[in-house]
Structure 1
Amino acid sequence: MNKEIVLSNGRFFVNIDKDIAIRDFYFPYVGMYNHLNSQANSIGVWVNGKFRWIDDSWEKSFDYKENSLVAKITATNQDLHIKLEFTSTIHKYSDILIHKVKITNLSSEKQDFKVFFYHCFRLNESEIGNTAYYDPKLKGLIHYKGSTYVYISSEGLDYEYTVAKKNHESGAWKEIESGILSKTKIMQGEIDSGWGVKGELQPLESKEFFYYILVGKKYEEIENLKNKVEKEGLEHLLEETEDYWKSWIKTKDRLIPALSRDLKNQYYRSLLTIKAHFDNEGAVVAANDTSIYKFNKDHYSYLWPRDGAFICMALDNAGYTRLTEKFFKFCKKHITNYGYLLHKYSPDGTAGSSWHPWCDEDENYQLPIQEDETALVVVALYNHYLNSKDVEFIDMMYNGFVRKAANFMVSYTDPKTHLPLESYDLWEERRGVFTYTASTVYAGLVAASKLAVLVGNKEEAVIYKEKAEKIREAILTYLYDEESGRFLRGIYKDKNGNIIKDKTLESSLLLIHEFDVVEAEDYRMINTVKAIEEGLWIKDGIGGLARYENDYYHRVSENTPGNPWIITTLWLANWYTEVGLFDKAFSLLNWVLKRRTQAGLLAEQFDPYTGEPLSVCPLTWSHSSFCYSIQKLNKKLIEQKTPEYV
């Protein structure tokens, strides 16, 4: 179930689904730990003896307040004659989730009502050893286990509560459906809980109340947050958070008037969505949507250094250079002694799960890496310097990260061809020597050379530059196929050392010009783009570009090359921008606008016929790709002073 709303402060993160249920609840890292594991913290409403969970029988809408991470959600039930309006956020720095709820009686009769909030926490990702109890001092429910405490309460109306043993036949959910909570005081093990607010409404009358959740690592932190709520007030905390996010966007706004209001609003929404997925310790996670659990019992709540590099380039271009420093420090801290970054990382810096083996079929040692993940962080770091001009930060990063990564890239090459040695492709599916990966290594070494000059290491700068040029020459020699007139996806070696060409149409080849291997208008690039657009565009459906021919991941139909992705479609838009075909670039950006959810969230990929989001939603990389494409177009229009646009 894709998510409609994400809320975060860089430590506390929640996803809200189409039924206004909290599905993912992360603390103390964005993406770690999920204290719900995709179980639904649902909302139910009781009116004059009738009860309804918020589900598909309700009319719902989802949005955010302009330029903020404050959500606006409505839910209307014609059978109950009730409308709920939520204004929701996580405080900008304190770990407080706030729902301001307005309930309206749509009937001409007086109605007694109760609004119930259900909780089925699996603290620290397990149902074992949980405790929930009513705290009479703090006047709320507390769920706790180990160093995780969750407090639940409300303001503005009378309340009731319960905690219970949870199973398929009984639990707090059953009490909620009955409309009466038993006020059980404590329970342990596999448990759930309910919190209800109650009152009466005259015909067409509205009332407001607050429901809120505090999280901390110990009871004393909950006490401190409760004191903050009582001292400052939930209304104030909500308002100051909205003001903060509006200022966060406004102070960095650099977009020209030529861009439509829709494009600008989506740009701002995408920046905020990226920020929501950026942990305070530096990991920017790919996605926190656990609807992906059904595949391999895993998720996207990891930092892939490649994704992080692309995301941070967009953030740096937008002016958020202080934020991206955290990512680069994270990479510096966790790069191996050998100079490469691992497949992916958990938000706390530990190694993420992987399916890349450390040896081949004959048990010969091999690195289970995607080399682009090391190279692109160096590329992104140089882009960071161009935006920040912070030489001191570069000097700190150079000794602990850049030199390690660059020396690895220099050494990890074939002495005969000068191409990078085998690693996994960016889609994590196959091992070989890929044009895209080689291009990132070329760009990474060029960036390392420039960074070396900045900090006074001229000898190393020469070494990195010379190696980069050898790799570029090798790309043009071995990875451009004269017979087909375009770049290859890659090459492989058989057991006899013979080179096997992979001519599969591959969208990542659209990035070759971005890494300056060739110019965007070079005939080899043009030929490659034409072949990709012809072979990977979804012709009989919603349009958009597939990743590669016969992409199997979430594949809907064998009559298409694969499903359309946001990032691949925008790579094509970027090439159009680079060669001055602005109308086509705008067309693809508007294609993206048609794919967004009500609240402006962008999925990873889409059903090629229905346009329904597939895989995770939102995907942070999709949002950063949109930002990057807008930035590129914005800059190009200014540089060229195109009359109809500027």
Structure 2
Amino acid sequence: MSRDLPVGNGALLINFDRNYQLRDIYYPRVGQENHTSGELNRFGVWVDGRFAWLDDHGWSRDLVYLPDTLVTNVTLRHPDLALSLTFNDTVDLGRDVLIRRVRVVNEGPEREIRLFFHFDWHIYGTEVGDTVMYYPAVKGLVAYKGQRCFAACGQVGDRIGLDGYACGKKDVGGAQGTWRDAEDGELGNNPIEQGSVDMTLALKVGRVPPGQTATAYQWLIAARNFAELQTVADVITLRGPEAFLERTRSYWIAWVNKENREFADLSPRVAE
């Protein structure tokens, strides 16, 4: 499948497909080690007992970037769920971290809404010998092998942490992966697994009144060791994910517009 929306900083490259599901995590050199091997890393939403992944046919999609940036501005709407999602995702300009902001608009009656983020690991390009675990020091899930570490964390409101997680086997003995565990809206909280593994985390945005918006953040840190991982995690905790999203947006706008360009009689749409 093609890669429709890439975001990166030269060391960490993230690619999303046409359904806006994460496919590639290249680090620390673009085009070399792909730590998901192009496999599907799913995003799903649970709404009062109903569940849909982003590859569900009920979604309509508008996949674009914010103007003059490498910050996505993706809107998805599911009429049957009476729900719309807006994603603003980017890789920070100075630190190797993917920052994701999800705004959820409830177009139905007041309901409880939960978000699920799934990662299918093939660290160094192979699933052999990967480890995934819950790591209290970063209040999130960590995947690692050798000199590659990844931490998946989240925030709803002022609270940093996860509302559920699952670490498990995949493609072994008939196991499909922890993403299946998410489809009932709950995760088993298995804290560690090793081998051919994946992991899923949950963020509960709570009960959302009709017509109202709830916001959640999820971030993925890439590092060469646990010390680097912890340093970045601590900075994000201190400053908040929104600060990194905003500074990267501002950086790209300044970079794109550092010179004035004339487009003659081209329409604004074509010039854009």
Alignment of 1:554-573 (within 5 A): none
Which 5+ residue runs of structure 2 have no aligned equivalent? none
TM-aligned CA deviation for residue 253 of structure 1: 3.4
Alignment of 1:97-246 (within 5 A): 97-107=98-108, 109-156=109-156, 159-167=163-171, 168-198=174-204, 199-246=206-253
Aligned residues of 1:23 and 1:40 also touching (Cα < 8 A): yes
Counterpart position of 1:262: 269
Alignment of 1:379-458 (within 5 A): none
Amino acid at match of 2:167: V
| Per-residue CA distance 1:569-599 (angstroms, 9 max, x = gap) | xxxxxxxxxxxxxxxxxxxxxxxxxxxxxxx
In structure 1, what is the Cα distance between the partners aligned to 2:44 and 2:129? 27
Counterpart position of 2:51: 51
Amino acid at match of 1:80: L
User: CA-atom RMSD, angstroms?
Assistant: 1.3
Aligned residues of 2:58 and 2:80 also touching (Cα < 8 A): no
Amino acid at match of 2:116: F
Aligned residues of 2:34 and 2:124 also touching (Cα < 8 A): yes
TM-aligned CA deviation for residue 263 of structure 1: 3.4
SS of the residue corresponding to residue 163 of structure 2 reads strand
| Per-residue CA distance 1:390-424 (angstroms, 9 max, x = gap) | xxxxxxxxxxxxxxxxxxxxxxxxxxxxxxxxxxx
Counterpart position of 1:60: 61
| Per-residue CA distance 1:111-145 (angstroms, 9 max, x = gap) | 11111011101000001000000001210000000
TM-aligned CA deviation for residue 242 of structure 1: 0.7
In structure 1, what is the Cα distance between the partners aligned to 2:263 and 2:117? 45
Which 5+ residue runs of structure 1 have no aligned equivalent? 266-646
Aligned residues of 1:34 and 1:124 also touching (Cα < 8 A): yes
TM-aligned CA deviation for residue 252 of structure 1: 2.8
| Per-residue CA distance 1:322-374 (angstroms, 9 max, x = gap) | xxxxxxxxxxxxxxxxxxxxxxxxxxxxxxxxxxxxxxxxxxxxxxxxxxxxx
Higher helix share: 1
TM-aligned CA deviation for residue 255 of structure 1: 2.8
Aligned residues of 2:131 and 2:197 also touching (Cα < 8 A): yes
| Per-residue CA distance 1:593-631 (angstroms, 9 max, x = gap) | xxxxxxxxxxxxxxxxxxxxxxxxxxxxxxxxxxxxxxx
Aligned residues of 1:45 and 1:113 also touching (Cα < 8 A): yes
| Per-residue CA distance 1:444-464 (angstroms, 9 max, x = gap) | xxxxxxxxxxxxxxxxxxxxx
Counterpart position of 1:82: 83
Structure 2 length as normaliser, TM-score? Answer: 0.93
Q: 1:248 aligns with which of 234, 248, 255?
A: 255
Count the aligned residue pairs.
Answer: 264
SS of the residue corresponding to residue 28 of structure 1 reads coil
In structure 2, what is the Cα distance between the partners aligned to 1:252 and 1:40? 39
TM-aligned CA deviation for residue 20 of structure 1: 1.5
| Per-residue CA distance 1:186-213 (angstroms, 9 max, x = gap) | 0000011101111211122211110110
SS of the residue corresponding to residue 225 of structure 1 reads helix
Aligned residues of 2:62 and 2:76 also touching (Cα < 8 A): yes
Higher strand share: 2
Amino acid at match of 1:173: W
Aligned residues of 1:6 and 1:14 also touching (Cα < 8 A): yes
Aligned residues of 2:114 and 2:185 also touching (Cα < 8 A): yes
Aligned residues of 1:19 and 1:42 also touching (Cα < 8 A): no
Amino acid at match of 2:181: E
Alignment of 1:349-364 (within 5 A): none
TM-aligned CA deviation for residue 256 of structure 1: 4.0
Amino acid at match of 1:251: K
Which 4+ runs in 1 deviate beyond 4 A?
none
Counterpart position of 2:8: 8
Residue 130 to residue 169, structure 1, CA distance change in 2 (3 Å):
closer
In structure 1, what is the Cα distance between the partners aligned to 2:210 and 2:261? 49
In structure 1, what is the Cα distance between the partners aligned to 2:254 and 2:127? 41
SS of the residue corresponding to residue 234 of structure 2 reads helix
Question: Larger RCO: Structure 1 or Structure 2 (Cα < 8 Å, ≥ 6 residues apart)?
Answer: 2
TM-aligned CA deviation for residue 75 of structure 1: 1.2
Aligned residues of 1:147 and 1:218 also touching (Cα < 8 A): yes
TM-aligned CA deviation for residue 45 of structure 1: 1.0
SS of the residue corresponding to residue 63 of structure 2 reads strand
Percent identical: 29
| Per-residue CA distance 1:26-60 (angstroms, 9 max, x = gap) | 00011111111110111111111111111132111
Q: Which has the larger radius of gyration?
A: 1
In structure 1, what is the Cα distance between the partners aligned to 2:6 and 2:177? 28
